[in-house]
Amino acid sequence: MRPVVVTPQGAPLSVPADAAGVSGSAGFEGGSFWNFFGSGDPGTLTDRGGATLPIPRLETDDVGFIDRLLGTMLDEYCVDSGRVFATGMSNGAGMSTTLGCELGGRFAAIAPVAGVNLSGACPGDDPVSVLAIHGDADAIATYGGNNLLGFQLGNPSVPDRMAAWAAYDGCDVEPTIDRSTPGLAVTSWSGCDDGTDVELWTLAAWGHRWPRATEAGQPGVIDATDAVLDFFNDHGRS
């Protein structure tokens, strides 16, 4: 069976004129943006100056949009419902994480790159395999949390977020860490529910970029595309 790749696009971002940090956000006005804050009450964003922006002003129901899109795909095309996956980087990573939380029954696995810790708590009940890839020198979606483009989200660090995912999937509390590849630490949780797996790949000194096999002509540590596809290949739902 051939894979089906669907690449939906978020709605254009409209930054309110009186928003906190609006001058620093102006470059993103009109760009595609996924509302990864989900259906819960996300509260507010706080910028470095202490001003706040109510997150509910980002009112696009992207979870509902993806839910309806998947329904259409499953109804009209030959798609294996047990092998539906989501991945993305940065804003897309936050969105793929939210989809795994809120539509876990539809997704067998998710692979957020540089943004697994951007979304809020998981309200769902369905175990979902997760591969998160994140650089510890990311200055946009910081590894230590509480930051996106200078806004203080109150979001957790990447390790804390992944530990919460492991608990959500019913995994063993203590993970194993493989540092056999220079520049890469692979943290894995085992014993998860329903055959799921939770993995965090931390890239040393890596910023807010999609990891590739080569970077500026030099060998890279990993190719995230290959890693994500291999993870998806191994984590279909029966």
Does this model's pTM top 0.85?
A: yes
Domain boundaries, the chain: 11-234
CATH topology of domain 11-234: Rossmann fold (3.40.50)
Query: Does the pLDDT of residue 73 top 60, yes or no?
Result: yes
Query: Does the pLDDT of residue 223 top 80, yes or no?
Result: yes
pLDDT for residue 35: 82
Long-range CB contact pairs, 216-222, < 8 A, 24+: 221/181, 221/182, 221/183, 221/184, 222/133, 222/181, 222/184
Query: Does the pLDDT of residue 193 top 70, yes or no?
Result: yes
Give the pLDDT mean for 26-54: 61
Say which amino acid occupies 74.
L
